[in-house]
Structure 1
Amino acid sequence: MPRSKKATAYKGTSPEAIRHHYDFLGDFYKLFLGPELVYSYGMWQPGDTLESAQLRKLDHHAEAARATGAQRVLDVGCGWGSLLHRLVETHEVQHAVGITMSPGQAAWVRNQGWPHCEVRVENWFDHTPDAPYDAIIAIEAIEHFAGNAMLRSQRIARYRLFFQHCHSWLRPGGRLSLQSNAWGDRGWLASILLPAHERKSAGSNGGPPKHLSPKSVYQDIHDTVTNIREGLHASRTVFPETFLPSLSELTTAARPLFTVQQIRNDPEDGVRTLESWLERAEANRARGAELIGEKAVTDIIREQRIGLKFLREQRYTVLRMVLEKA
């Protein structure tokens, strides 16, 4: 008997890949993320620590989604529950619901015994709320929704399906606050392949490219090969079955379901967060090797270094969007 369409539909990153990244590798992440276990880029101001930058980020999304004082708020990709706890304790949310595909993360949240916080192990594709939400927040979750083998039109269709679900879950006028790692305006291929000097000068004056010496050309080729090699390594060992959207893909997918209220492009927040994570990861390398093995620790640190390089060269960015139900 054939399986139903819903049962066979593509639902993003597989449960196996999720468990590898968040449950297995997560034992090392817990050593350097800080006490709140916030696994996403913070929002930095001068004088910040990693901890204060992360709390500022959580507060930003709560306020942007107009979640303060709300009855029900959904956190899509809730991780180890830092936002759920912050919503209830600081923003007086009456009931915070988090969904994650990681059994380990869900178990950790439940063990905290936080009142008015509910966590479910499920894919957003399958989520059925008990009642409408006043606000929805999704911080660095949408990278799991479309695979790297998809065409742009297919990715947009997947993101649109997510926005359709959010639209149906929200009360009239409700908001979605979204954070994502996102490729640059030229798309993923150019973001990886273009030399750094061309990326930084793209669109600046529209003039012809400057003459490059043979040495510079060789360096550009070497950097491109390195970017491809390191990007593929990271996608195989640390972030399997994930892919970054672009701003245009997300805005196209959101129309006409949502109106865009705010867009922020904050690559420096990613730089400062990764710098802090790398320093702490190196300091905890020996303990991490005891937990998950030396190779896995090396893979994580290697992935973070290429991520830092890509952010500094503006190959991808930290995108923050606020959308309101139309």
Structure 2
Amino acid sequence: MTSNPRIGPIALPDTRARRVFQELLEGSGVTLNGDAPQDLRIYHPDFFSRVLHQGTLGLGEAYMDGWWECERIDEMACRLLRHGLAERAHTPSERLMYRLQAGFFNLQSRARAYIVGEAHYDLGNDLFERMLDPTMCYSCGYWKEADTLHEAQVAKLELACRKLALVPGMRVLDIGCGWGSFAEHAARHHGVEVTGITISREQAALARERCAGLPVTIELMDYRDLTGRFDRIVSIGMFEHVGHRNYPTYFATVERLLEAEGLFLLHTIGSNHSEITADPWINKYIFPNGVLPSAMQIARASEPHLLMEDWQNFGPDYDRTLMAWLANFDTHWSEIAHRYNERTRRMFRYYLAVCAGAFRARHLQLWQVVFSRDRPQRYDAPR
């Protein structure tokens, strides 16, 4: 499982860095070179100094390099977050640098909008096809009555359609349509016309293929360049890429595009605290320039433009979704291993497992929020 040629973990060095690291773990239920699934097994003597100097970036890169191993990274991450290591895991220089960048520069400007598409979503459709279920949903499933990943993703899509009260013939906009999962479902099962936009060329190509023969149009486009009017608007798993400086513009755009009595559903990962920073490892390797919104940030930015009708949190369902993706990834890796290297495999495993642990610890949330513009009638949200 590790790329390190040594058969077993090394003897722990008697260094100050190791002692400090071990003190941080005390009481978390995670030990060094232990036998429990959540324990870290160390394969490189410089592991401790690397992590103490580089924080979460160093921890993630050290795993990618084979410097440590853990049978259940998800459980390790959950325990460490519940132990309160979230803030201490970031070095002051990491946080300061990102705060300066995010404070003075628009990291999610039009000119930079396509960076995350090229870096992550364009990595390879073959990889995502094996990791995800047949719907190609790359967002949290709804597990209330589901037993499988596919059932959970279909339930999520149908829940969004019911919350939007779709009627055949409606014009629907999907901001951040991904590989066309919602567009295909809504057009096929609810008879609506869908315009979907994405900043990923690979997503756009596959979405057009999957939606062929349906009243669906897929465009490679930034949301700020949209024109027209729509009866309904949906955005699933895209708001995480908008950035705090652009929240007002985002909601003003939705208001401009939405018909007077229309509905807008926002499906997004949420942070428990208002931040403008991102985890350094996630920012570098998974979602460049991404940042998670807080409830306060969403409420403040949307208030001048839209009326909030409903807010649902099913964050724990993302833990189960991510673990299902991880199981798929491990099961099918051998089919695509010839196209990717071992470091990419470890990167994806670490990403999926750490994020699952974060949701399990309730460090992250998943929200579906329904908004209207000028809707006189009462709104009753399906569950």
Alignment TM-score, normalising by the size of structure 1: 0.77
Q: Distance in 2 between matches of 1:253 and 1:114?
A: 38
SS at match of 2:190: coil
Q: Is residue 59 of structure 1 aligned with residue 158 of structure 2?
A: yes
Letter in 1 for 2:203: Q
The answer to whether 1:247 aligns with 2:295 is: yes
Q: Which amino acid in structure 1 is aligned with residue 205 of structure 2?
A: A
Tell me by how many angstroms 1:70 deviates.
4.2
AA in 2 matched with 1:291: R
Contact 2:171 2:232 (C-alpha < 8 Å) held by counterparts: yes
Structure 1 pair 125–271 and aligned structure 2 pair: CA distance change class (3 A) = same
Give distance in 2, aligned partners of 1:251 and 1:71: 27
Q: Which sits farther off after the overlay, 134-143 or 20-29?
A: 20-29
Q: Deviations over 1:30-71 (max 9, x none)?
A: 112011111111111244211111011111111212223242
C-alpha distance in structure 2 between counterparts of 1:241 and 1:145, whole Å: 9
The equivalent of 1:22 in structure 2 is: 121
Q: CA deviation at 1:25?
A: 4.7
Do residues 266 (structure 1) and 354 (structure 2) align? no
Match of 2:274 among 157, 182, 187: 187
Q: Deviations over 1:132-173 (max 9, x none)?
A: 100000001011111xxxxxxxx1x51121111111111112
Q: Which structure 2 residues correspond to residues 54-93 of structure 1 after superposition, within 5 A?
A: 54-93=153-192
Q: CA deviation at 1:21?
A: 0.7
| Corresponding position: 1:276 with 2:364 | no
Give me the TM-score of the superposition, normalised by structure 2: 0.66
Partner SS state of residue 137, structure 2: coil
CA 84–46 in structure 1, closer or farther in 2 if over 3 Å, else same:
closer
Deviation per CA, 1:171-204: give whole Å up to 9, x if none: 11211101101101x3349xx9xxxxxxxxxxxx
- 2:371 and 2:315 map into 1 onto residues whose CA distance is 20
Q: What are the Cα deviations for residues 246-266 of structure 1, in whole angstroms up to 9, with x where unaligned?
A: 111001111131111110111
How many Å separate the matches in 2 of 1:22 and 1:75? 17
In the alignment, the residues of structure 1 paired with residue 168 and residue 316 of structure 2 have an alpha-carbon distance, to the nearest angstrom, of 31
Contact 2:274 / 2:297 at 8 angstroms: preserved in 1?
no
Paired position in structure 2 for 1:220: none
1:232 and 1:259 map into 2 onto residues whose CA distance is 34
Change in 2 beyond 3 A, CA 1:277/1:13: farther
Change (3 A) 1:182 1:47: closer
Matched position secondary structure for 2:110: coil
Match of 1:271, SS?
helix
1:304 Cα deviation (Å)?
0.9
Q: Does 1:238 align with 2:286?
A: yes
With CA pairs under 8 Å and 6+ residues apart, which has the higher RCO, 1 or 2?
1
Equivalent residue, structure 2, for 1:164: 252
Q: Does 2:147 correspond to 1:99?
A: no
Structure 1 CA distance for aligned equivalents of residues 255 and 240 of structure 2: 19
**Cα distance change, pair 37–97 in 1 and its aligned pair in 2 (3 A):** same
Unaligned runs of 5+ in 2: 1-106, 375-383
Larger Cα-atom Rg: 2
CA contact (8 A) 1:183 1:316 kept: yes
The unaligned stretches of length 5 or more in structure 1 are 1-7, 147-154, 193-227
- Opposite residue 124 of structure 1, the aligned amino acid is Y
- Paired with 2:326 and 2:188, the residues of 1 have a C-alpha distance of 30
Partner of 2:333: 285
Retained in 2: the 8 A contact 1:288–1:294? no
Distance (Å, rounded) in 1 between the aligned partners of 2:111 and 2:372? 24
C-alpha distance in 1, partners of 2:315/2:339? Answer: 31
CA distance in 2, matches of 1:181, 1:26: 23
Q: Match for residue 134 of structure 2?
A: 35
Q: Identity rate of aligned residues, in percent?
A: 25
1:288 Cα deviation after fit: 3.5
- Map of 2:218 onto structure 1: 119
Question: Of the candidates 349, 355, 364, which is equivalent to residue 307 of structure 1?
Answer: 355
- Alpha-carbon distance change, 96 to 74 in structure 1, aligned in 2, over 3 angstroms: same
Quote the residue 2:60 is aligned against. none
